[in-house]
C-alpha cells in the first residue's frame, strides 16, 4: 500500500486538481468510463467526474441491494473525494466503501461515524468480516442488525458492532415491596427461572417485603509504590490526617456534581499502598465517576510525595468483578437487607412445604454447605440467577454480578406455633445505576420504566438506584424461597424438564421418576 495516494486529509478541491492535472493536454487524452452515461469516452478537457452527477445517476438507477454489487467501481481517488465531501459516502456503493476500508481511507472501527449512517456501517462491517474471516455467506444471516438505534451504542456501549443479540424477557410479579407493587423484568435463557421467581413473589407478597438500603458508595483502589516502607508509612499517615484528607476530598469532589468522597481505606504491603477511595455517585453506578475523581486526588498526593509511583489506577483492592472478602465485609455500591414473613398457609398452598423443612434445608445447604466449599459471599441458593437476569434487562454491567450476587439468605421458623417462616436476604454489594452505561439503550430504558426508575431521581439524587437495589434484593428473596421449596420437594429436575425439554423427554422422565420415588427416603423435618 506504500505506493498508493493517501488523500484522507486532502481537501476535495485540491484532490480534484491533482487527479486532473493533464486534462488540458490534448495529446494525452485517454478513454475513461463515465458512470453518468454508462459508456467510455474521451477524457473531458475542462472538467472531471462530477460527484453530484454520480449521486444522481446512482439514485436514478434504484438498484436492488444485490444488484449494486454489479455496478462498476469508480477509481479510488474519486471515491476518496466523495467520502471526504459533504456527501459523506452516501453515493458510494458498498463495494466502493469496502475498497476504501481496505486501502486505509476509512478505518473499519469507525465506519459508522465516517458514513454518518450507523446501520449501513454495521452492514458493511459484516460484509468485510465475513470476507476476512472466510465465513460462509449465511453465517451472520440469523444475527439481526436492522431497526436498531445505534446512536445510543456508538462511543458508549459497544465497538466493532455486528448487530445485536435477542434475549427473551419475562417478568416476575406482582412483588409487594415497601408497600408498592412491582412487575420485575428479567432477561434470561434459563427455562424455569422466571416461573420459579414468579412463584416466590406470590409467596413473599402475602404480607409484603420490607427493605433497608444503605448507599455504601462505589470504590476505586489504586496501587502506589514508594522507595521504601518508611516513605510509604509516612504517606499513609499524611493521608489519614484530617486536614490532608479534607484537601484530597475537595480535589476529588471537584471532578463531578454527584461524586462525593466518603472514605479512603488504606492497606499497606511492603512499600506499596492500596488506597480504596469510596464515593457516593448519585443514581449512576459510578465507576467512571470514581475513577476520574481518584485520578485527580492522586495528583494532589503526588505533589506532596513526588517519589510516589502510581502502579495502576486499579490495584484490585476495589474490588471490581472479582469475589473478594473486602466487598463482602465493607460493602460496595448499595447494601440492602430485605425481610419477609411467609404465613404457613402460603407455604402449604404455594410452595407445598412448611417452615421447619425450609429452615433446616437453608441451614444445611446455604450455611454449612457454603462453608464446606469455602465460599465468599455465597451463603445462598442461586442469587446470581436473579441478579444477572435483572442486570441484563435494565442495562447494568452483567460482569458485575460477581460482586453484586454476594448474598446471605436466612430462614427461621416464626410465630406462636412456629409454623410461619421469617426470611431475610442480605446483599452488601449491589452495584447498580439507573442512568449511564447500558441504561440508555431503548429496551433497557423501557424495563427501567416498568419499575418507574429510569434516569435520575428528580428531587433526591441516588434514590432511584437505591430503590432498584431493593427491588433486586427482594426478587432474589423470591427466587431463593422458590428454589429451596423445589429442592425439598424434589421438584427441581421436573420443573426444568417442563420448561427446558420437549414433551417426549418429559414423559420419559416422569416414568423414571415414579419408579425411583418408590424407594426414595422421606425428608426428616423433626430434627433440628
| Catalytic sites, residue numbers | 190, 321, 397, 496
The answer to whether residues 349 and 202 touch, using CB atoms and an 8 Å cutoff, is no
Q: Which residues of 407-420 are buried (b: 16+ CB within 10 A; e: fewer)?
A: bbbbbebbeeeebb
What secondary structure letter does DSSP report for 513? H
Cell 437505591, located at residue: 466
Strands (DSSP E) contained in 248-331 are 260-269, 272-280, 309-312
- The whole-angstrom separation of Cα 20 and Cα 363 is 84
- The whole-angstrom separation of Cα 521 and Cα 419 is 23
Q: Which residues pair with 275 in a beta bridge?
A: 266
**Sequence-separated (6 or more) residues with CB below 8 Å from residue 485:** 347, 351, 352, 353, 358, 491
300: nearest Cα among 243, 366, 351: 243
In the numeric block, which cell numbers belong to residue 214? 444503605
- The whole-angstrom separation of Cα 267 and Cα 224 is 11
Collapsing DSSP states into helix, strand and coil, what is residue 247? helix
- The whole-angstrom separation of Cα 218 and Cα 404 is 12
Q: Residue 48 burial (CB < 10 Å; 0-12/13-18/19+)?
A: middle
CA 253 to chain centre: 26
The answer to whether residues 16 and 84 touch, using CB atoms and an 8 Å cutoff, is no
- Residue 31 is inside which H or E element, if any? strand 31-34
**Sequence-separated (6 or more) residues with CB below 8 Å from residue 456:** 282, 283, 434, 435, 464
HSE of 347, CA atoms in CB hemisphere, 13 A: 25
Amino acid at each position: 500500500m506504500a505506493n498508493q495516494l493517501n488523500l484522507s486529509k486532502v481537501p476535495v478541491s485540491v484532490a480534484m486538481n491533482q487527479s486532473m492535472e493533464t486534462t488540458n493536454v490534448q495529446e494525452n487524452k485517454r478513454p475513461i468510463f463515465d458512470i453518468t452515461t454508462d459508456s467510455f469516452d474521451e477524457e473531458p478537457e475542462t472538467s472531471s467526474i462530477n460527484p453530484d452527477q454520480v449521486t444522481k445517476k446512482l439514485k436514478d438507477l434504484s438498484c436492488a441491494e444485490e444488484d449494486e454489487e454489479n455496478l462498476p467501481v469508480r477509481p479510488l481517488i474519486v471515491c476518496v473525494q466523495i467520502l471526504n465531501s459533504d456527501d459523506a459516502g452516501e453515493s458510494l456503493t458498498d463495494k466502493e466503501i469496502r475498497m476504501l476500508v481496505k486501502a486505509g481511507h476509512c478505518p473499519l472501527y469507525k465506519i459508522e461515524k465516517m458514513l454518518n449512517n450507523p446501520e449501513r456501517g454495521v452492514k458493511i462491517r459484516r460484509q468485510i468480516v465475513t470476507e476476512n474471516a472466510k465465513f460462509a455467506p449465511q453465517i451472520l444471516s440469523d444475527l439481526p442488525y436492522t431497526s436498531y438505534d445505534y446512536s445510543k451504542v456508538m462511543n458508549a456501549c459497544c465497538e466493532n458492532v455486528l448487530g445485536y443479540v435477542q434475549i427473551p424477557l419475562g417478568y416476575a410479579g406482582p412483588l409487594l415491596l415497601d408497600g408498592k407493587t412491582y412487575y420485575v423484568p428479567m432477561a434470561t435463557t434459563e427455562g424455569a427461572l422466571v416461573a420459579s421467581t414468579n412463584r416466590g413473589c406470590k409467596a413473599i407478597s402475602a404480607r409484603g417485603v420490607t427493605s433497608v438500603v444503605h448507599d455504601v458508595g462505589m470504590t476505586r483502589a489504586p496501587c502506589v509504590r514508594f522507595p521504601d516502607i518508611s516513605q510509604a508509612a509516612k504517606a499513609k499517615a499524611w493521608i489519614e490526617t484530617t486536614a490532608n484528607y479534607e484537601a484530597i476530598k475537595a480535589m476529588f469532589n471537584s471532578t463531578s456534581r454527584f461524586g462525593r468522597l466518603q472514605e479512603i481505606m488504606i492497606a499497606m504491603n511492603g512499600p506499596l499502598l492500596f488506597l480504596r477511595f469510596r464515593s457516593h455517585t448519585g443514581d449512576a453506578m459510578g465507576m467512571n465517576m470514581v475513577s476520574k475523581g481518584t485520578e485527580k486526588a492522586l495528583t494532589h498526593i503526588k505533589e506532596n510525595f513526588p517519589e510516589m509511583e502510581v502502579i495502576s489506577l486499579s490495584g484490585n483492592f476495589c474490588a471490581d468483578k472479582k469475589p473478594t472478602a473486602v466487598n463482602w465485609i465493607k460493602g460496595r455500591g448499595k447494601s440492602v437487607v430485605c425481610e419477609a414473613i411467609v404465613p404457613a398457609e402460603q407455604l402449604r398452598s404455594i410452595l407445598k412445604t412448611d417452615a421447619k423443612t425450609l429452615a433446616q434445608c437453608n441451614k444445611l445447604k446455604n450455611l454449612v454447605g457454603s462453608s464446606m466449599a469455602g465460599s465468599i459471599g455465597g451463603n445462598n441458593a442461586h442469587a446470581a440467577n436473579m441478579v444477572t437476569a435483572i442486570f441484563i434487562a435494565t442495562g447494568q454491567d452483567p460482569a458485575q454480578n460477581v460482586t453484586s450476587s454476594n448474598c446471605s439468605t436466612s430462614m427461621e421458623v416464626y410465630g406462636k406455633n412456629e409454623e410461619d417462616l421469617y426470611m431475610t436476604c442480605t446483599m452488601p454489594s449491589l452495584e447498580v445505576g439507573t442512568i449511564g452505561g447500558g441504561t440508555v439503550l431503548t429496551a433497557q430504558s423501557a424495563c427501567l420504566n416498568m419499575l418507574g426508575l429510569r434516569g435520575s431521581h428528580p428531587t433526591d439524587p441516588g434514590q432511584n438506584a437505591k430503590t432498584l437495589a431493593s427491588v433486586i434484593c427482594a426478587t432474589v428473596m423470591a427466587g431463593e424461597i422458590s428454589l429451596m421449596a423445589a429442592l425439598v420437594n424434589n421438584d427441581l429436575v421436573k420443573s426444568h424438564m417442563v420448561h427446558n425439554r420437549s414433551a417426549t423427554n418429559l414423559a420419559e422422565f416422569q416414568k423414571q421418576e415414579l419408579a425411583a420415588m418408590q424407594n426414595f427416603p422421606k425428608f426428616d423435618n423433626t430434627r433440628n
